[in-house]
Amino acid sequence: MNYQLDFTPVFDGFHDLLLGCLGTFGLAISGMLLAIVIGIGGVMLRESPLKPVRWLVIGFVELIRNTPFLVQIFFIYFALPLAGLKLDPTVTAIIALGINGGAYAIEIIRGGVQSIPAGQREAGYALGLRKAQVFRFIILKPALRAIYPSLTSQFVLLTLTTSIASAISAYELTSVSQRIESESFRSFEVYFTVTAFYLVISWVMMRIFGLISARCFAYPVK
């Protein structure tokens, strides 16, 4: 085997790869924010006294968790235009990531909410708080503290899932690397570099989540 390594195309496209990293961060953070909104909203609806609403949330969670993300993003991008709704690839990727992450977030957050003793809820009602206020002020923060490691692990996975958005040409790291590879035919060099980039991205996301944990969920020092 006389294959000669040549990282010249990688060096030439390094600026584009960095921009691709920013695109990946943008998709990941936007998808996470949407997932958190869907997760918290879904948990509140899951606690609804109306059985059809609860079954709707359960059905949503099961549908998303038991179908591939690639199928979901293709459905949003290719099927919705048939209904007259044409979305930009980046917007499609954000919505798909948010929906996918939100389905997992619902179950993770629900587990945290159920871990809160019923006595704390009853104490909130005894103080005259409404159900939404009890959820916000008494249940949500302790629940988030309990499930924060699981939630952040899911969000790191969601960050890596952004690579699938290259299938609809959303601007992110994998789509940039595919273009460089198709122009240079240096597959090993390009994807070796991209692997290193994704490792750095994952490390940065974990550091960010660690700082948030220390800032927002650390127990007070006695």
Question: What SS3 state is found at 172?
Answer: coil
Question: What SS3 state is found at 87?
Answer: coil
- How far apart (Å, rounded) are the C-alpha atoms in residues 62 and 54? 12
Q: Which domains does the chain have, with CATH numbers?
A: 24-174 (1.10.3720.10)
Share of the chain above pLDDT 90, in %: 56
3-state SS, one letter per residue, for 36-97: HHHHHHHHHHHCCCCHHHHHHHHHHHHHHHCCCHHHHHHHHHHHHHHHCCCCCHHHHHHHHH
Mean pLDDT over each residue of the chain, to the nearest integer: 88
pLDDT at position 87 is 86
pLDDT per residue over 32-51, tens digit each? 999 999 998 998 888 888 88
pTM of whole model > 0.85?
yes
pLDDT at position 147 is 86
Residue 84 in tokens: 């007259």
Residue 186 has pLDDT above 80, yes or no: yes
pLDDT band at 143 (very low <50, low <70, confident <90, very high): confident
- How far apart (Å, rounded) are the C-alpha atoms in residues 102 and 161? 14
pLDDT at position 220 is 57
pLDDT at position 47 is 80
pLDDT per residue over 84-118, tens digit each? 888 889 999 999 999 999 999 999 988 887 777 77
Share of the chain above pLDDT 70, in %: 97
Listed residue (27, 36, 64, 22) closest to 159, CA to CA: 27
Specify whether the CB–CB gap between 100 and 75 falls below 8 A.
Answer: no
Residue 183 has pLDDT above 60, yes or no: yes
